Amino acid sequence: MDMMLNIDLKKLVPPISYRDKIMLVGSCFTEHIGNALGDLKFSILQNPNGILFGPDAVCKSLLSYAENKKYTEADMFQLNEVWNSWQHHSRFSNLSSGEAIRIINESQQEAHDFLQQADWLIITLGSSFTYRLTQQAATAKHAIGDTVANCHRAPANWFTKEMLEVEDIKLMLEDCLKRLKEFNPKLKFIFTVSPVRHIRDGVVENNRSKARLIESVHYIDAKFESAYYFPAYELVIDVLRDYRFYDIDLVHPNYPATEFVLEKFAESCIDENTQQLMQEVKKIIIARKHKPFQPETKAHLQFLITHFEKAKLLQEKYSFLDLKEELVYFSQI
């Protein structure tokens, strides 16, 4: 018989609803939550800089959105013919510096506008380790000791690696939240620590790294009335606590694990009426993804008509939902 530890999940007050705008930033586990909420038609914006792991990178990116920072060629560097930003994921990199800057600044503007109106900011921290530039990578704009969010597979001697101290993490998070509250006073925060194991750092070092993040976010949770800690890390590590819930790399939680965490997230963070509506939306989304073997049959035609009516009624009843894509699909009669 399978047994699991019980975990006390505090109810979020006030809870999240479909009317809320939600920004998500941080590690790859952020995108599990963000993709699920996006699929269910919540108003979200996730990782405008791409995936970020450390609190320094997360804080720097968030403040750049509030300030509506614009990037220039001086902020970029070239490696193997490709132009990159030290503060962005490689999905923003480009053979053309101008194109890379254009994509980055479009994302910056979108993030600035969204964050200004956001109700919730979900921050998932993955690692306490940070990388600093050495003399080999320094330029007029990028000084020795500057931290980077992404190493872009640059030579190892371009960086020094260090684990941030707990007090430093606390200070940068506290300063970040204060400045974000000045920018958007209604903003509320949900912190999580990613259950993804950073084994490349070493097993012992990964645990030390996670411990510093956990200590820091609990400090912030206690310090700010608008901050809340959701125990995604504990749900996987202490409740599921089995390699059956990890992918073959034994590092990333698998689909059943992420679904378990999302279920608990909904129970503790989303209001009951919204949870019920989520189930209705989910039925429409599943129907939209249905691939018919014989699309010309009367049965499939009736399937489209039935779900078009269901989606239409749902859209009319809940005007804040965006079911345009589904309505277009089901109208292909």
Structure tokens at 217: 């976010």
Residues 6+ apart with CB under 8 A from 180: 62, 63, 66, 115, 121, 187
The alpha carbon torsion through 179, 182, 183, 184 (nearest 10 deg) reads 120
Residue 8 pLDDT more than 90? no
What stretches of the chain show up as alpha helix (H) in DSSP? 28-39, 55-66, 97-117, 166-183, 203-223, 232-234, 255-269, 272-288, 298-317, 324-330
Total residue count of the chain as it appears in this document:
333
Which residue has better confidence, 168 or 30? 168
Q: When comparing pLDDT for 291 and 154, which is higher?
A: 154
Structural domains present in the chain: 21-270 (3.40.50.1110), 272-333 (no CATH)
Tell me the per-residue pLDDT of 118-148, one tens digit each, with 9 for 90 and over. Answer: 999 999 999 999 999 999 888 868 899 999 9
Count the Cβ atoms, other than its own, within 10 Å of residue 174. 16
- Per DSSP bridges, beta strands 76-79 and 82-85 are antiparallel
More confident residue, 20 or 251: 20
Q: What is the pLDDT of residue 6?
A: 80
Taking the C-alpha atoms of residue 180 and residue 65, their distance in angstroms, rounded to an integer, is 10
The predicted pLDDT at position 2 comes to 58
Task: Tell me: pLDDT of 252 over 90.
Answer: no
**Mean pLDDT rounded to a whole number for the chain:** 93
pLDDT tens digits for 27-85? Answer: 888 888 899 999 999 999 999 999 999 999 999 999 999 999 999 999 999 999 999 99
**Predicted confidence (pLDDT) per residue in 195-245, tens digit:** 988 888 899 999 999 999 999 999 999 999 999 999 999 999 999 988 888
Please report the pLDDT score of residue 200 as a whole number. Answer: 87
Rounded to whole angstroms, the Cα distance separating 34 from 262 reads 10
What pLDDT is attached to residue 57?
Answer: 97
